Structure 1
Amino acid sequence: MASSAKKGSALVETIKTIVYALLIAGVFRTLFFQPFWIPSGSMKETLLIGDFLFVNKMAYGYSYASCPSLMLPSLGIDIDAEDVCGFLKNDNKRLFGSEPERGDVVVFRHPVTGRDFIKRLIGLPGDRIRMKDGVLQINDQPVQLREAGIFEETYEAQGPQGSYPRCANGPVGEGGACLKERMIETLPGDTEHAILNIGNQSSDNTGVYVVPEGYYFFMGDNRDNSSDSRLPQSVGGVGFVPYENLVGRADRVMFSSAGRSMLFFWTWRPDRFFKRIE
């Protein structure tokens, strides 16, 4: 009997330890940092497929979007932030809120699907945003651009999804050099970052977007391979993003793997460990 009681007590203590650990992890993820794995190439070369980072959730304060999501399709688990904190939605306000800055790399919830996206903040409330001949215009002024060589990568399946990059010199065979034009873009306020160009397409010339109060305009750095605020939500784009949908700011890549799994150590990118995001 004593042995059975001890086993029962040990099991209870183990369960309590697991529950406490999950609660601590949940609080940490809700209040401070959220892990994020880059699944697509829309932010190259700033972020590569396979980069792993922590999103600073303290940067802009807290809203319903700060609540963590838990998606484990193999176990049939799909708990969304809105399921937990949806009662806080639709006021477009934040607790301890602060305004993001133009040029920040931000994780936000898609206004329709609720999935997490990561893009660069281009337009602030009241801004007039337009693309003309592939050049970004903010408040009717073209941003400064300077040539910065060629971005080269191998044409091969990338990341767990096995997606292939788009190339300016395509079509490219498996294992070939996939090239894109690289430019340095300077936003108002002198924020600089690299952008990539593949070729002429419809998103290089747009109408004028006037960013509403309480909303923001986002674009990917890989300009010709990014679904972002240039496309309205009705056709699968992002459109304008409300303040309350911001999750946090991406400041630094913690780890990076070029393979299909982070366990394939021979595909790790040591030069990107703890790399600052600019």
Structure 2
Amino acid sequence: MWASIKETVKTVVYALLIAGVFRTFLFQPFWIPSGSMKETLLIGDFLFVNKMAYGYSYASCPSIIIPAIGLDVDAEDFCGAFKGSNERLFGSEPERGDVVVFRHPVTGRDFIKRLIGLPGDTVQMRDGQIILNGETVPQTQAGLFSETMERQGSQGSLPRCSNGAVGLGAECLKQRHTETLPNGVSYSVLNIGDRDLDSTGVFTVPEGQYFFMGDNRDNSSDSRVPQVSRGVGFVPYEDIVGRADRIMFSSAGRSLLAFWTWRSDRFFKAVE
């Protein structure tokens, strides 16, 4: 009997160690909780973050957050001794247009946005378009993005619409444009209407830091708002966790376990 219990405990310990190594050095699971990256990423998309893409820093250590039991162990709790150097082991530079998971420089919570500005770049928003290093990033009209007005994800958030305040179950629309960065990366951006962050001052990205934006421009807390105003601001190189490469599956319901709500068109879909 005791031999059997001992073997079971050993199996569990080995499984946890393997899972820990997998999550720390290879891939980290990530569930999209908000609509800031629509339509590239939808609420309920489940993906693995490629930690090998940019090398390793303190941010590569796992965070374990289980609100139901009050567990909140941060990557800094595990590897905080390595924070502050802004360097990475086996590091490589992220590329403009990558969809990146990073730790918020102040709160430490994981965010996912698109990389727009590299160190030394100037970035400005003018009437809803990016001015990158003095040049307008081109956009072309791409019709409308449509979704149902209903509560989405575990937070039960409602989408925002360009066609006004619509009732539950009605069609919620947003203007869609295709934006193309200087390196040829193209993706869809959504527009709800005229907002304060459609026009900004000029941001100069410091060395060793990056400028991120959400594709759902009018519903994204990103680098356009400085940290002192509860935004993201510039993100240091060491705070980058990894690159989002592929969606594994996607749930349109309130829980990942509600398999009957999984979106059949998003299995193993590449993140572009």
Q: Alignment partner of 1:34: what SS?
A: strand
Which among 30, 38, 58 is matched to residue 44 of structure 1?
A: 38
1:146 aligns with 2:137: no
- In the TM superposition, what is the alpha-carbon distance from 1:75 to its structure 2 partner? 2.1
Displacement, 1:262? 1.9
Aligned pair count? 272
Q: CA deviation at 1:263?
A: 2.2
TM-score scaled by structure 1? 0.97
Could you say what secondary structure the match of 2:210 adopts? Answer: strand
Higher CA-based Rg:
1
Matched, 1:8 2:2: yes
Aligned to 2:178: 184
Q: Show the counterpart of 1:31.
A: 25
Name the % identity.
71
Q: What is the aligned counterpart of 1:256 among 243, 250, 253?
A: 250
Name the structure 1 match of 2:239.
245
Query: What is the deviation of 1:118?
Result: 0.2
Equivalent residue number for residue 219 of structure 2: 225
2: CA distance between counterparts of 1:165 and 1:74? 26
C-alpha distance in 1 between matches for 2:166 and 2:150: 10
The match for 2:92 is 98
Q: Select the residue among 257, 260, 268 that pairs with 1:274.
A: 268
Rounded Cα–Cα distance in structure 1 between residues aligned with 2:114 and 2:210 = 10
Code of the aligned partner of 1:129? V
CA deviations on 1:81-117 (whole Å, 9 max, x unpaired) are 0001000000000000000000000000000000000
Q: How does 1:199-210 map to 2 (within 5 A)?
A: 199-210=193-204
2:71 pairs with 1:64: no
Report the CA distance between 1:12 and its aligned residue: 1.6
Shift of 1:16: 1.3
The residue that corresponds to 2:115 in the other structure is 121
Query: Aligned AA for 1:40?
Result: S
Amino acid of the residue matched to residue 77 of structure 1?
L
Q: Over aligned residues, Cα RMSD in angstroms?
A: 0.7
| 1:267 positional shift | 1.1
Map of 1:173 onto structure 2: 167
TM-score under structure 2 normalisation?
Answer: 0.99
**1:235 Cα shift?**
1.5
Stretches of structure 2 that go unaligned for 5 or more consecutive residues are none
